[in-house]
Structures are given as C-alpha cells and as structure tokens.
Amino acid sequence: MTIRSLLIANRGEIAVRIIKAAKALGIRTVQIYSAADVDMLAVKLADEAVEVGPPAARKSYLNIEAVVAAAKAAGVDAVHPGYGFLSENANFADAVEAAGLTFIGPKGDAIRLLGDKVAAREVAARAGVPTVPGSAGRIDGLEEATAVAERTGYPVMIKAAAGGGGRGIRVANNRADLERHFPQASAEALAAFGDGGLYLEKVITRARHVEVQILGDGENFIHCYERECSLQRRRQKVWEEAPSFLLPQDAREKLCASAVALAREVSYRGAGTVEYLYDDETGEFYFIEVNTRIQVEHPVTEMITGIDLVAEMIRIAGGAKLSIAQERVKIAGHAVECRINVEDPVRGFLPTPGRIDRLVVPAGEGVRFDTMLYEGYAIPPFYDSLVGKLIVHAENRDACLDRLARALADLTIVGPPTTVGLHQALAGDPAVKGGAFHTRFLEQWLETEFAGETGRTAEVA
C-alpha cells in the first residue's frame, strides 16, 4: 500500500524529524499532543493535531486506546511511533494493525521477541553472534544469580529482561552488592516495564559501546555501518559518533555482518539497531540487545551514508522493497552528535525546564540541529529533558571536532541551563580528542575534569 497520511505517536524533536521526512515524501501528517504540549513545535508544523489526554504520559502518549482512536478519527493510513513511549510496545503495534492501520516498524511478534533481552540473546546465539558471558536465560531468584555470578566472576551487571533506557540495571562488584541490588533492579524493572524479570552479564571492564544500524524489508537486509556510543552517564548516551574511529576494519566487517545475520534470522522489517560491547584489550565484541525502532542518534549515520533512515522506514512500511543495495552503502567522512538537554550539569544534572528567551542555531556546511525549540517556547516539566541534537559532519574526525567546537560556540540558548557547556568541555578534552575513552569514562571525567572546570568557572563568576 502507499502511505498517504500518518500519525506521529510521539513528541519533541523526533516528532519534528518525522514530520519533515513525511512532508518530503508528500505525506499528510497528524500530530498527537497532551494538554501540556499544545504549543509544541511539532503541533505547529503538522497538517493536523489531535489532543490525546492530560500531561501525564501514561494518560496521553502511553495510552494505547487514546492514540489508536486518534489515528482512526484522523483517517490516517499509518502510525509512526518515534523512539521511547510506545515505540517498542508490541501490544501497541498489534493494536495499530488490528485497527486496519500500518505500524511503521517491525511486527508486534518481532518487537516482542527482540524486546525481551533474554530471548534476543538466544536469537543472537542462533545467528552466530557472540554474547556477553552470563546467565543462559532469566534468573530465577537470588540463589541462581549468586551461582551465575560466581561462575562468570565479578563484577556482574544485573539487567532487566524487558525495556531499556538504562533502567532496571545495577552493577554488583561482589556478593554483598548482588544481594542488595538484585531486588532493587527487579522492582525498578517491574515499575518501568511491567516485568520484573532479570538476567546477568559479566561486566567488560574497559568496553566500548558500538552499535550497528540495520534496515530490512522482511526479505532483504543491509547494515549502514556502526556508531560509537561510549560516552554515557548512568548508562544514558550523551555523545555519539559514526563511524567508530578506533575499530579495526576486520572487526568492523565482522560486527556489521553479524548484525545483518541477526536481522535475517528474524526476517526483520524496518530500521533497527544491534548493540554490542567491544573489548579494546582483546578485540572481541559481544551482543547486548536490539532496539526495534529509530534511535536518538540516527542522524550521525545519515550524515556519513546519505541515507534518510526515517524516510526509508516509511517506504518499507508502505510495502516497498529496500531501495539501497549493500554495496552502495559507503562511509563518507565522520559525524558527531551532541545531545542537548535542559539540565544543569553543575547541579547534578538537575532537569531545568523553562522558557526559551533566545535561540540562535548554528548553520553552515556539515552542521545540523534537530530540535523542538523556538523562541518563546515554554518547555513543560513532564517529559524527558532532551530538547535538541547538534550534529556535525566533516571529512575526518579531527576536522569534525574542530567544526563541532565552532558550532557549539555558535549555539545560543538563553533561558534554562542546558548541557551545551558540557559538550564544549568534552569537545576540547585531550582524551576525547584522542578517542581514549570507554563506557565508564564520562562518569569518572565528570567527577574530576568537569567538576574542576565548573568549580573554577564558579569562582571567576
């Protein structure tokens, strides 16, 4: 079928991104919004907007019945879930399809299978993809967890079997930690995802987080190379790059081939991401999970490949075959994305929603700013603090970091505190410039380098 209209079941910058891609394809757009988001940029840009509930996400953006009813009432052909909210909810995908509409993403069964991290590990094993040493499946209580931890060796990571976003995860360095953190992780997972199931993985001490972008139409599957996502705070990505700058070519080829093998194993349809840990010391990589949706960091892949991933998702959902053959996907230059949040790094990253009094967006060759902001906009306090992404592309990584530093200097957001200053400090840090970082680097750096820098700034002020 040809998709002529779609409903965006999300908000913020990803809603704006989807609207722009849809309009470029000549598709009518309908934006849902909560009572708190009536002034949202996506509402202003869409052809039509429909309120679906009060500010609380569970009563609006997470309300499957309300979202599907809005889609049916608006007469759309399809629903795009974006990321977060209902994007990896198999029941939502099923409900959209049951209403006679097209869900822009994998089928509910595929989301259900890959969304359960334990089941996804089993799929990866069948596809020949190496997994992190740990439990064979879900852990049946603390006694079994202790046995697995003693077999694999500490430290171990306790992880939620369902969900993502860094929730339901704890690190246990010894048995006492395991006994304390295991029930905490289970309770958090149950509250966040409605599933308190856990599994265990051995902690790869100096790992880097590398992920591969995949596209599939159910019969044909390709990769769009990898992204480096090792700069994280509390297991939340802060800064992403493409390609991974220290990955040897042979490792890149194996990594990307394994992601395609996994996609083929489940006849994947749409855009997705296969995430790995890469061990710098051994050169080995291990499967972590699959995200069955568009990722926050997808723009860096678009910048180095020239592929519009959101548009490709829409075409595939409409029944088109992949328009790109693997041999046509090439890496051109280097790209970096900085997540801009309304948070105050000096005060423990406290969320700081408020009114945008002035906004100056950097421009020029190789500079892109995906955002939900405009001057006069009052950011509501009910949702995620991500308000924009500064993406920069250049012929190589050194040139990209130079361009990024200039773009960050030009980015002006007057109003609530943001993380722009944090990214300026990172862009100028010798270790970051040299690529000498791993998944634990940023939290250590925040306690030393950035803490010292912000302290000196405060003294001067």
How confident is residue 165, by pLDDT bands cut at 50, 70 and 90?
low
The answer to whether the Cα torsion of 78, 80, 86, 87 is positive or negative is positive
In this structure, are residues 244 and 228 in contact, taking their beta carbons and an 8 Å threshold? Answer: yes
For residue range 113-156, what is the model confidence (pLDDT) as tens digits?
A: 999 888 998 999 999 999 888 888 899 899 999 999 999 999 99
For residue range 79-110, what is the model confidence (pLDDT) as tens digits?
A: 999 999 999 999 999 999 999 999 999 999 99
The answer on pLDDT for 457 being more than 70 is no
Which one of 11, 17, 252, 293 is the catalytic residue? 293
In this structure, are residues 97 and 310 in contact, taking their beta carbons and an 8 Å threshold? Answer: no
Check residue 452 and give its pLDDT: 58
CA-nearest of 401, 383, 384, 380 to 392 is 401
For residue range 185-197, what is the model confidence (pLDDT) as tens digits?
A: 999 988 888 888 9
The answer on pLDDT for 460 being more than 80 is no
How confident is residue 297, by pLDDT bands cut at 50, 70 and 90?
very high
Show the tokens assigned to 76.
């759309």
Instruction: Provide the H-helix boundaries in 348-448.
Output: 397-410, 420-427, 430-433, 441-445
Q: What does DSSP say about strands 78-80 and 5-8: parallel, antiparallel, or unpaired?
A: parallel
Q: What is the rounded distance in angstroms from the CA atom of residue 142 to the CA atom of residue 139?
A: 8
What average pLDDT score do residues 342-365 get? 96
In the chain the domains, ranked by start, together with CATH numbers, are 5-104 (3.40.50.20), 133-202 (3.30.1490.20), 207-460 (3.30.470.20)
Check residue 140 and give its pLDDT: 87
For residue range 166-192, what is the model confidence (pLDDT) as tens digits?
A: 778 899 999 999 999 999 999 998 888
Check residue 237 and give its pLDDT: 96
- How many C-beta atoms surround the C-beta of residue 412 within 10 A? 11
Please name every residue paired with 275 in a beta bridge, in sequence order, or none if there are none: 211, 289
What average pLDDT score do residues 8-15 get? 98
The answer on pLDDT for 73 being more than 80 is yes
Q: What is the rounded distance in angstroms from the CA atom of residue 32 to the CA atom of residue 8?
A: 6
What average pLDDT score do residues 220-235 get? 96
In this structure, are residues 94 and 109 in contact, taking their beta carbons and an 8 Å threshold? Answer: no
For residue range 214-225, what is the model confidence (pLDDT) as tens digits?
A: 999 999 999 999
Check residue 193 and give its pLDDT: 82
Q: What is the rounded distance in angstroms from the CA atom of residue 449 to the CA atom of residue 154?
A: 29
- How many C-beta atoms surround the C-beta of residue 422 within 10 A? 27
Q: What percent of the chain has pLDDT over 90?
A: 85
Show the tokens assigned to 388.
């924009």
Check residue 192 and give its pLDDT: 81
How confident is residue 204, by pLDDT bands cut at 50, 70 and 90?
confident
The answer on pLDDT for 346 being more than 70 is yes
How confident is residue 458, by pLDDT bands cut at 50, 70 and 90?
very low
DSSP, collapsed to helix, strand or coil, labels residue 34 as strand
Residues 6 or more apart whose CB falls under 8 angstroms from that of 225 comprise 212, 213, 242, 243, 252, 256, 301, 304, 305, 329, 331
Q: What does DSSP say about strands 285-291 and 269-279: parallel, antiparallel, or unpaired?
A: antiparallel
DSSP state of 433: H
In this structure, are residues 29 and 19 in contact, taking their beta carbons and an 8 Å threshold? Answer: yes
- Write the single-letter amino acid at 429: D
Whether 293 is a known active-site residue: answer yes
How confident is residue 206, by pLDDT bands cut at 50, 70 and 90?
confident
Average predicted confidence (pLDDT) for the chain: 94
Residues 6 or more apart whose CB falls under 8 angstroms from that of 27 comprise 3, 4, 5, 6, 314
What average pLDDT score do residues 286-314 get? 97
